[in-house]
Structure 1
Amino acid sequence: MATLVAFNAHPDDECLLTGGTLARAADEGHRVVLVVASDGCMDAVPDGGAPRLAELRAAARVLGAHRVVHLGYADSGHGAELYPDPPDRQRFLRADPREAAERLARVLREEKADLLLGYDRNGGYGHRDHVRVHQVARLAFALAPVPRLLEATVPRETTARLARLLREDASRLESMFLPRAEITHAVNVRRYAARKQRALAAHRSQTGGKLPGTLVGLPPWLFAALLGREWFHEVPRGAAGPTAEAAVPRR
């Protein structure tokens, strides 16, 4: 039995690019641990806890994950502005990447992890918390004795083709995800697509008028056709250093 640690930026991110892989790993007898950087809250955590962390724990049960860990940060939000920290914790983007990496490395050591999942260098579609996950995962990979790091992504050519079918501007995708030539692993998860869709549905706060809601509302066969394969870029151990932006905390 191996131990897989999946590091994500926000609750619900674990489903979109890696949910099928996590469910498959759990079904095949491996230990699956979900680590999330932020709790998905922009403000102070309400009495009773962060609602999106509760949704994450529900999704984890659907996927078969054994443990959920929050690194203690708040959501950094979208847009150019970096909002002030809430009164009770720091925003993920404002935290020192080395500190965040040590928190993640602590989990990797506790779990004696065999595999770490992070994000590609573009943070997938470019959300700043996702880019920071990429940076922190690489730093933690250098700090902890985890043998392998796989970065979740999507072939850029696939997303561009979909954009053209939807008559969207495909040029903006040039800085998103990775070209197919950089992808080292493609995982067939069609058998686990229904689990992936149910786990996504557990994130109830994110399904109203947003992409997760659109995906949850798809017929199961169409969801499986669109999200039944997951892709990764494996990082060689010698290439695990942080990208340039990782060295400077955002203040």
Structure 2
Amino acid sequence: MHTPDLSGETVLALHAHPDDESIFTGVTLRRLADAGARVVLVLATGGDLGGSRLPLAPGERVPDRRRRELEEAAGLLGVSRLVLLGHRDSGLPGGPGTTHPRALAAADPLALGRAVAGIVDDEGAGTVIHDDDAGIYGHPDHRAAHAAGALACDLTGATGYRMTVDREHLALSARDRHLVHGAARAAGVAYGRVTAEIAVAVTGSDDDLAVKRAAMLAHASQIDPAAVPADGFAAAYGHEWFLRDPRDGRGAPGVIDALGNAHLLAGAR
């Protein structure tokens, strides 16, 4: 697989919760790092309301566990800098967590966007990855991360890519085997976009997918290995999908396009 030279490029990826970075952009971040780009990962919350499927150590809190797991995953994905914005997980739409004073969903969107823009400026990042406007599956924290990322792009002029999933592709190749399926059911919402809406689909080698799976499994408090078996992993998680930022009508190709557009290549065959 062709590896472009992205030396000198800095890409900031903004995510709502620990593990989102691995699930939705694990291959993309690893390939960016391998191509020489500096990858800055920004997490808006500590995933406080995610609970833990494993027992916590004495005195350990869920955010403590999730931060350790995040740091391990970030190392696997080649992240150069990890930034935690310190907001509280908001929980599912309509739940009591959305009104907590520290909840991401209750944060001032302008202040949040300016905070992200400050990191973009500090890093000289030319590209920002963030959620699509529907928050991928409607989660209030993903919606807030979208708003912050979009504003940061407006304030800094960075090229924006909006992560999503291709629901038509998943329906054909991985019915009910992607974690987004369960998340969307829990939230009671639709998820993703149809294929025709998606501008860029990134895929990777078998080694890239192995790293992505390892990064997902680093989040052991959240992800059961039985839910992401190696057999069939590529069908469910082998592509990562993006919309280009339409804010100025250009939708011009940028750094993520340099990784190769798997969707368009597949359609051309």
So what's the TM-score if we normalise by structure 2? 0.75
Amino acid in the other structure paired with 1:183:
I
Change (3 A) 1:190 1:226: farther
Gaps of 5+ in 1: 241-251
Change (3 A) 1:236 1:54: same
The corresponding residue for 2:79 is 65
Q: Secondary structure at the match of 1:36?
A: strand
Shift in Å at residue 195 of structure 1?
Answer: 0.3
The corresponding residue for 1:248 is none
Shift in Å at residue 85 of structure 1?
Answer: 3.0
- RMSD between aligned residues: 3.0
Shift in Å at residue 159 of structure 1?
Answer: 3.2
The corresponding residue for 2:217 is 201
Amino acid in the other structure paired with 1:29:
G
Count of matched residue positions in the alignment of Structure 1 and Structure 2: 227
Matched, 1:225 2:267: no
Give the whole-Å Cα distance in 2 for the aligned partners of 1:16 and 1:48: 19
1:125-144 aligned at under 5 Å gives the runs 125-144=137-156
The corresponding residue for 1:92 is 104
Matched, 1:80 2:94: yes
Of 13, 18, 22, which aligns to 2:20?
A: 13
Amino acid in the other structure paired with 2:234:
A
Q: Secondary structure at the match of 2:48?
A: coil
The corresponding residue for 1:184 is 199
Give the whole-Å Cα distance in 2 for the aligned partners of 1:194 and 1:122: 29
Matched, 1:52 2:62: no
Verify the 8 A CA contact 1:26 1:32 in the aligned structure 2.
yes
So what's the TM-score if we normalise by structure 1? 0.81
The corresponding residue for 2:43 is 36
Give the whole-Å Cα distance in 2 for the aligned partners of 1:163 and 1:226: 5
Shift in Å at residue 163 of structure 1?
Answer: 7.6
Of 126, 134, 144, which aligns to 1:122?
A: 134
Shift in Å at residue 239 of structure 1?
Answer: 5.6
Q: Secondary structure at the match of 2:84?
A: strand
Equivalent pairs: percent with the same residue?
38
The corresponding residue for 2:117 is 105
Matched, 1:26 2:33: yes
Shift in Å at residue 226 of structure 1?
Answer: 2.3
Measured against aligned partners, the alpha-carbon deviations of 1:214-248 in whole angstroms (never above 9, x if no partner) come to 11xx02x52123211111100134169xxxxxxxx
Q: Secondary structure at the match of 2:240?
A: strand
